[in-house]
Structure 1
Amino acid sequence: MIQAIDTTKLTLMLNELRLPTIKQMWPSFAERADKEGWPAARFLATIAEHEIADRDRRRRERHLAEAKLLPGKTLDTFDFDAVPMISKAQVMAICAGDGWLGNGANLILFGPPGGGKSHLSSAIGLALIENGWRVLFARTSDLVQKLQVARRELALENAINRLDRFDLLILDDLAYVAKDQAETSVLFELISAIYERRSLLITANQPFGDWNKVFPDPAMTLAAVDRLVHHATIFEMNVESYRRRTAIDRKQHGPGRPAKSATPKNTAMSLSDNQPAT
């Protein structure tokens, strides 16, 4: 009877302390400790290690669910051979997150449609989550529309502030934002608010010189580019469309991966003076 009362009290205390794994596992570990004569310190350390490991797993699951990454897009499934101007070693260093996310540095991927920008950006986001960072992936046009709604409801500042919980915000397909004063104004406010506080990963089809198609105001274009390139690493992924190559290869060789990547138009990779990783 005494044991039952003690067990009930212990369960209540573990609930109060929010230790669900210890609450679930302590009876089996206690039984094993009694049989094997564990010192009290070993028993305590063992159940504490399991609690920490399970807490980390639950946190990664939450962060993965909130990130809205593209399904199936990982570094393992990214064809680095098809994009020779991208260094796999540098990408792996970037995926650690150290040295750039904490400083609010940016990563920008340029290239024509179908070159793998969205795949690589989502894969980088996934790797960062696995390393303990928080990430949000969004099509730029979708996020801008949500921020426009917030502005109409006089809640734009709060909406942008809620994005602060993410270490990295991935804005996919920046160029598809409508050249509309309301949309581009909201996008510029987002870039300005995040500048040097949180990191951005941006994918875009056009180089900076064509961003007047996104921002109708030349001064706004210049200001946006200035904020984005400061402390930024830039990858130029000027290759033939992966989707087009896949379709041609399937027609010629049947289902499977493309037989061989086409020669890239431009293999230069431009880096700023403040690189996230080397």
Structure 2
Amino acid sequence: MTAPATTAVDTARLGVMLNDLRLPTIKTVWPEFAARADKEGWPAARFLAALAEHELAERDRRRMERHLTEARLPPGKSLDTFDFDAVPMVSKAQVMAVAAGDAWLSTGANLLLFGPPSGGKSQLAAALGLALIENGWKVLFTRTTDLVQKLQVARRELALEAAIARLDRFDLLILDDLAYVTKDQAETSVLFELISARYERRSMLITANQPFGDWGKVFPDPAMTLAAVDRLVHHATIFEMNVESYRRRVALDRKRGPGRPLSHPDRRATAASVEST
């Protein structure tokens, strides 16, 4: 057998073996790297390390892409674009520390964001979700009412425990707009079971318009309200975002454009006219 024929056979065998080993990136790039290694006289260790680095980098990219798809985050929300000046009571340094995730997600702690409608809670929650995914954590963002309805269906099908267990694959479950759960025993009971199941095991980030004192509007049973609050705050960081509309402020500043005075918080009539959402 001639040398070119032998090389062709070895190349074909290598492709099959790399498929079996599930190393698609190495299968794609190795001829280019091999040619460069031959030309530049790379030692074998450098050649293998270069191939391994590319395989790992591509796996990270695919994992990030998969986790972003699963997370269902609202698009365009990131900590880089979040206007911390609009919520001065929230420390940017603290938020950036939270975005690393290690100090709280690994212990099943929670994060609670309170404030009026349009105060920036959902934007900050989504931005934190993106940052945590970039740091290697698995996140799911959902409106509380949507998830509660899915869990109610699971209960009717006698599969509630399994449905809640499937959510364990997410390090962080972001429940947006807790306030909009109706004061209905069936809805609030599945929400309570979810909170109880994740207690001290998996983390939750909850946004809510009402302080704890008004959660009786969500949970009709006072004992259930107390138990839910107790489980959520036992290991929790709480951000109070009691500011005028974040979206209104952003809309004003966008309309203002460069070189014009910053919007004043007392000019609410003007602000209301440009609020788009």
Alignment TM-score > 0.5, same fold: yes
Q: How far apart, CA to CA, are the structure 1 residues paired with 2:258 and 2:185? A: 45
2:108 is the counterpart of 1:104: yes
SS of match in other structure, 1:103 = coil
2:258 is the counterpart of 1:235: no
Q: Which one of 22, 27, 37 corresponds to residue 26 of structure 2?
A: 22
2:10 is the counterpart of 1:10: no
Residue matched to 1:200: 204
How far did 1:90 drift? 0.6
Q: How far apart, CA to CA, are the structure 1 residues paired with 2:25 and 2:209? A: 47
Q: How far apart, CA to CA, are the structure 2 residues paired with 1:86 and 1:33? A: 52
2:206 is the counterpart of 1:213: no
Q: Which one of 65, 80, 83 corresponds to residue 84 of structure 2?
A: 80
Q: How far apart, CA to CA, are the structure 2 residues paired with 1:132 and 1:92? A: 15
2:130 is the counterpart of 1:126: yes
Taking a change above 3 Å as real, the CA distance of residues 124 and 36 of structure 1, as seen in their structure-2 partners, is: same
Contact kept in structure 1, 2:177 and 2:206, CA below 8 Å? yes
How far did 1:244 drift? 3.4
Contact kept in structure 2, 1:108 and 1:202, CA below 8 Å? yes
1:151-194 Cα offsets, whole Å, 9 max, x none, are: 11111111111111111000000010011110000000000000
Taking a change above 3 Å as real, the CA distance of residues 256 and 33 of structure 1, as seen in their structure-2 partners, is: same
Contact kept in structure 2, 1:245 and 1:258, CA below 8 Å? no
How far did 1:260 drift? 3.4
Q: How far apart, CA to CA, are the structure 1 residues paired with 2:111 and 2:233? A: 8
Taking a change above 3 Å as real, the CA distance of residues 258 and 124 of structure 1, as seen in their structure-2 partners, is: farther
Taking a change above 3 Å as real, the CA distance of residues 152 and 70 of structure 1, as seen in their structure-2 partners, is: same
2:30 is the counterpart of 1:31: no
The alignment yields a C-alpha RMSD, in angstroms, of 1.9
Q: How far apart, CA to CA, are the structure 2 residues paired with 1:202 and 1:180? A: 19
Point out the structure with the larger helix share: 2
Contact kept in structure 2, 1:82 and 1:261, CA below 8 Å? no
2:262 is the counterpart of 1:259: yes
How far did 1:36 drift? 1.0
Between 148-157 and 103-112, the greater mean CA deviation after superposition: 148-157
Taking a change above 3 Å as real, the CA distance of residues 183 and 56 of structure 1, as seen in their structure-2 partners, is: same
Gaps of 5+ in 1: 264-278
AA at the equivalent of 2:78: T
SS of match in other structure, 1:99 = helix
1:223-246 Cα offsets, whole Å, 9 max, x none, are: 000000011000100001123345
Taking a change above 3 Å as real, the CA distance of residues 52 and 254 of structure 1, as seen in their structure-2 partners, is: closer
Structure with bigger gyration radius: 2
What is the TM-score when the length of structure 2 is the normalising length? 0.90
What is the TM-score when the length of structure 1 is the normalising length? 0.90
Q: Which one of 45, 52, 55 corresponds to residue 56 of structure 2?
A: 52
Q: How far apart, CA to CA, are the structure 2 residues paired with 1:261 and 1:45? A: 57
Residue matched to 1:273: none
AA at the equivalent of 2:163: A
Q: How far apart, CA to CA, are the structure 1 residues paired with 2:77 and 2:242? A: 20
How far did 1:88 drift? 0.4
Residue matched to 2:271: none
How many positions carry a matched residue from both structures?
262
Q: How far apart, CA to CA, are the structure 1 residues paired with 2:115 and 2:260? A: 21
How far did 1:34 drift? 0.8
Residue matched to 1:151: 155
How far did 1:249 drift? 6.3
SS of match in other structure, 1:100 = helix
Contact kept in structure 2, 1:109 and 1:235, CA below 8 Å? yes
